[in-house]
Structure 1
Amino acid sequence: MLRTLRTYAPPFVLSLAAILGCETSSEPNEDPIPEPGGEGCRDGDKPGCVVASDKQRISTPDVPLEDRTALVSGNSAFSLDLYQQLREKPGNVFYSPYSISTALAMTWAGAKAETETAMADTLHFDLGQDKLHPAFNWLDQELDSRGQGAQGADGAGFRLNVVNALWGQIGYPFETPFLDTLGLNYGAGMHVVDFLRQPQEAVDLINGWVSDQTEGKIEDLVPLEAITPETVLVLTNAIYFNAAWRTPFEPTATEDGQFVKADGTDVTVPLMHGSLEMPYAEGDGYQAVAMPYDGDELSMVIILPEEGTLDAFEASLDAAKVDGIVDAMSEHLVDTTMPKFKFEYELSLKATLKAMGMEIAFTAGVADFTGINAGGQPYIQDVIHKAFVGVNEAGTEAAAATAVIVGDESAPAPASLALVSPFLFLIRDNATGSLLFVGRIADPSAS
């Protein structure tokens, strides 16, 4: 049977890879930061070194089926809880809930007491600390084999890479169990930087790393103004995805046409057209397809609400409804018309996550992240997210990155020394204590 799907009304687009989890590569692209133990590094005593846990990432985690199911279900629930918050603003929306969940899961590894509970409730972390992090590791390892032999949208090979990294203030005492958890389950080493004295250099290193991991699609993730004198840690996750459709659209069939926006006005855009064999479903107020990528391991789920019902349909959308739509699909030949599109999306998630129940984690002096530093008062300063997506006849390219910025108002402030009035000075042999020279500067202009 030939079904027709025409995306002239605003489509709601979900990537199953983003909702259910992304394939993870534990081998990031070329890293501009020296490797642990590199020349000049001694326990991370200078910026540019990497302080890694002495525990290697577990490559084959043993995670029970019920824990795997709980992780995927929880991530999906958070994905659509977050969408309910973001959909209120008009216009395009695109984000990677998996990137956000991963970065915040690493942060959660240092949370205690009410902060731990509030984050778990908001993020739908339905497993305890001892189970959640191995489950994330399992999901990464499980998906690591996806796309073998498949093609990317650019003619090169399929890519779906997820990498994590930490950026910590030099001299700040991070707890060893925290670093071990992130090393064992997320493959994340601690890059030593100096947010306090060299914030621009620190930001450049972070943003350069993110750009490298996303093939240049995510630039300037962390703005300089996001770094304050209290900043002691930035936790980053970066995702890059490039995949060809199983059945590409013919470029010669693409023609300009009208797309009806949510406000009823038209806009002229390039519309792709093809008769594609793929899973299809139609139900009360919607049509939906799952457009498979090369290799048949990932799909883009597209849901088209009935014209004029976008807001009501979105309001009813949750993980269970998405599962129901996907479960209702069966193979059909679908006459498909859809627009080419490409755009970027960025946002601070601080206000959104506070509204969703995580306010305590952002409150200095109240947040409990003593798992990061037992003697300090760490708190989340901001959660920054950027995403890019491009869809054309060949396939999809998408990238996203998340930065969780952690501050500590109890961290010692730098001493201030302004030698602008008379002072004394001594030249001293440190080993023996011998004073070799003694002087006073009363007028540095005198000669």
Structure 2
Amino acid sequence: MGRCPARGRGLRDTSARYKGSGPERFLPDLAPSSEPAACLGASAFTMEQLSSANTRFALDLFLALSENNPAGNVFISPFSISSAMAMVFLGTRGNTAAQLSKTFHFNTVEEIHSRFQRLNADINKRGASYILKLANRLYGEKTYNFLPEFLASTEKTYGAVLTSVDFQHAPEDARKTINQWVKGQTEGKIPELLASGVVDNMTKLVLVNAIYFKGNWQEKFLKEATTDAPFRLNKKDTKTVKMMYQKNKFPFGYIEDLKCRVLELPYQGKELSMVILLPDETDDESMGLKKVEEQLTLEKLREWTKPENLSSIEVNVSLPRFKLEESYTLNSDLARLGVQDLFDSSKADLSGMSGARDIFISKIVHKSFVEVNEEGTEAAAATAGIATYCMLMPEENFTADHPFFFFIRHNSSGSILFLGRFSSP
């Protein structure tokens, strides 16, 4: 966040209170809540609102990234990005707040910050059958004065404590400190979130969100069944992959209008699942995936993947063993989606952080990692017309030997933690 007047108000549980018809109606209320997360009593309706908002943003960003890279791999944690930007939203005012609210669909969720607080607690709960760590932290220039209300709210709602660092005199040391923390939170999978030169002596604040996931399949693939097999990148090129195989009962569906198979692979405990959309092969360069992506909306994705449209049947599953590591600077993509003032030193209003309009967001960096193997999945990330279904056969084949779309979902909330496109081993 770089250098570049209105005093900030402070987040109660009623953080999305109506404030008139102008952009200020989106402003969070920054006084910290005294109510513990367990007592928030978020209704299923409002948690559904948050899940819908996060999924809409996830698909918006995925499609924007896909336009930039139509034939390559894409992998992001939209939940990580939304969580980080919700922290930023706490400190925004005026048009900056309105743009963030619209792009991230925060304006569709009542009490947005308390809902994130509740969802973070649900996802990070103790005793889960998976390992999922979501961690937030603020790194602030030690000589810069942040509003106590802002710091109290980020700590109370997002668990993000402020660590003072010396950006002004030792930016490289500060960068290494941030990277070391992210490396620890992601079990070493993201060793360098911030590249050399990303922070400098003008940096005032770095907001970091890191998410790490490791889960075993409910039904594991047998290692001895893994073989070398061709993966079709497009209609003329192939590449050899390690193809895993198993035959088991899984939720499965076929979208007749799209000519696309849907498979749900639950993780142990069935609290999380990987859902894969695999188009039938076609002669286009994307092997059928482009048509699926063109149809992606919140409503259609939910229709395609909801339990009542999937049948638990025997499926011969062939899935590549794969690992993806992706890095994105999201400024231009978010600007295309509507977040513009945040990155403009002359327009950014982050006065809810400091009481002055003297800072702006210089860069949003997102790195992500996923590894899928016979045991399960390891993933990490850090940010700075309804189709008709056809009748299924008693046994189906699901051979992912060409590009597919996938996401990892927290089933009880419907929240998409990670999503991507696997196009090229």
TM-score class normalised by the smaller sequence:
0.7 to 0.9
Match of 1:350 among 331, 336, 340: 331
Structure 1 distance, partners of 2:63, 2:365, is 18
2: CA distance, partners of 1:229 / 1:214:
27
Is 1:323 the equivalent of 2:309? no
Structure 1: unaligned runs, 5 residues or longer: 1-52, 151-157, 404-447
198, 211, 216: which is aligned to 2:183?
Answer: 211
Q: TM-score w.r.t. structure 1 length?
A: 0.74
Aligned CA distance change for structure 1 residues 57 and 93 (closer, same or farther; 3 Å): farther
Contact 2:124 2:134 in 1 (8 A): no
Partner amino acid, structure 2, of 1:141: A
CA apart distance, 1:146 = 6.9
Aligned counterparts, 1:1-12, within 5 A:
none
> Which residue in 2 is equivalent to 1:47?
none
Give the corresponding residue for 2:266: 292
Q: Who is 1:59 aligned against?
A: 37
100, 117, 122: which one pairs with 2:103? 122
Q: Which residue, out of 194, 200, 203, partners 1:231?
A: 203
Gap change, CA 1:190 and 1:256, over 3 Å in 2: same
Query: What is the total number of aligned residue pairs between the two structures?
Result: 342
Report the secondary structure of 2:106's partner residue: coil
In the TM superposition, residue 168 of structure 1 has moved relative to its aligned partner by 0.4
**How far apart in 2 are the matches of 1:249 and 1:78?**
33
Specify the SS of the correspondent of 2:241: strand
Kindly tell me: are residues 213 and 77 of structure 1, through their superposed partners in 2, closer, same or farther at Cα, counting changes over 3 Å? same
Question: What whole-Å deviation, never above 9, does each CA across 1:114-149 have from its counterpart, x for those lacking one?
Answer: 100001111111257x8111000011112233763x
Sort the Cα spacing of 1:368 and 1:263 in 2 relative to 1 into closer, same or farther, 3 A.
farther
Residue aligning to 1:145: 125
The match for 2:56 among 48, 68, 77 is: 77
Which residue is equivalent to 1:433? none
User: What's the offset of the Cα at 1:321?
Assistant: 1.5
> Alpha-carbon deviation of 1:341?
0.4
2:146: which partner in 1? 174
Query: Residue 350 of structure 1: CA displacement?
Result: 0.6
Structure 1 position 374, deviation (Å): 1.3
Maintained 8 Å contact 1:255/1:272: yes
Please tell me whether the aligned partners of residues 199 and 224 of structure 1 are also in contact (alpha carbons under 8 angstroms).
no
Q: 2:120 is aligned with what amino acid?
A: D
1:338 aligns with 2:316: no
Of 109, 132, 145, the residue aligned with 2:112 is 132
C-alpha separation between the residues in 1 aligned to 2:164 and 2:35?
20
Query: Match of 1:49?
Result: none
Q: In structure 2, what is the equivalent of residue 406 of structure 1? A: none
Amino acid at match of 1:144: N
Residue in 2 aligned with 1:267?
Answer: 239
Residues 146 and 304 from structure 1, CA distance in 2 versus in 1: closer, same or farther, beyond 3 angstroms? farther
CA contact (8 A) 1:166 1:233 kept: yes
Aligned match of 2:81 in 92, 100, 103? 100
Shift of 1:57: 8.5
**Counterpart AA for 1:297:** E
User: Could you tell me how far 1:375 is from its partner in structure 2?
Assistant: 2.2
**In structure 2, what is the Cα distance between the partners aligned to 1:185 and 1:274?**
43
Residues 188/231 of structure 1: CA separation in 2 closer, same or farther (3 Å cut): same
Is 1:362 aligned to residue 347 of structure 2?
no
1:54 deviates by 9.2
Amino acid at match of 2:340: E
Q: Displacement, 1:92?
A: 1.1
Deviations 1:310-337 (A, max 9, x none): 1122121122121011121121111111
CA distance in 2, matches of 1:79, 1:57: 30
Unmatched 5+ stretches in structure 2: 1-30, 283-287, 385-425
SS of aligned partner of 1:94: strand
Q: Contact between 2:123 and 2:132, CA under 8 Å: does it hold in 1?
A: no
Residues 280, 332 of structure 1: 8 Å contact kept: yes
Does the 8 A contact of 1:56 with 1:183 survive in 2? no
- Correspondent of 2:278 among 296, 304, 310: 304
8 Å CA contact retained: 1:147, 1:159: no
Q: In the aligned structure 1, how far is the partner of 2:254 from the partner of 2:144?
A: 56
Alpha-carbon distance, 1:251 to partner: 0.6
Instruction: Report SS of the residue matched to 1:225.
Output: coil
Alpha-carbon offset, residue 398 of structure 1: 0.5
* 1:192 counterpart residue number: 164
Mapped to 2, the partners of 1:342 and 1:314 lie a distance apart of: 22
Separation in structure 1 between the aligned mates of residue 34 and residue 329 of structure 2, nearest angstrom: 33
Q: Using the TM superposition, name which of 119-128 and 279-288 deviates more.
A: 119-128
CA deviations on 1:5-29 (whole Å, 9 max, x unpaired) are xxxxxxxxxxxxxxxxxxxxxxxxx
Percent pairwise identity: 36
TM normalised by structure 2 equals 0.77
Q: Which residue of 2 aligns with 1:398?
A: 379
Read off the aligned partner of 2:117 and give its amino acid letter: N
Aligned amino acid, residue 72 of structure 1 = S
Give the aligned residue type for 1:114. Answer: N
Considering only CA atoms, is the larger Rg found in Structure 1 or Structure 2?
1
Deviation track 1:385-416 (CA, whole Å, cap 9, x = no partner) reads 0011111111000011011xxxxxxxxxxxxx
Q: Which amino acid aligns with 2:159?
A: G
Distance 2:44 2:251 in 1: 27
Shift of 1:231: 1.1
Q: What is the SS of the residue equivalent to 2:381?
A: strand
**How far has the Cα of 1:212 moved from its partner?**
0.2
Give yes or no for contact 2:246–2:317 (8 Å, CA) kept in 1: yes
Mapped partners of 2:368, 2:319: distance in 1: 21
Q: 1-side partners of 2:235 and 2:199: how far apart?
A: 39
- Matching residue's letter, 2:139: W
Return the alpha-carbon distance in structure 1 between the equivalents of residues 99 and 168 of structure 2: 30
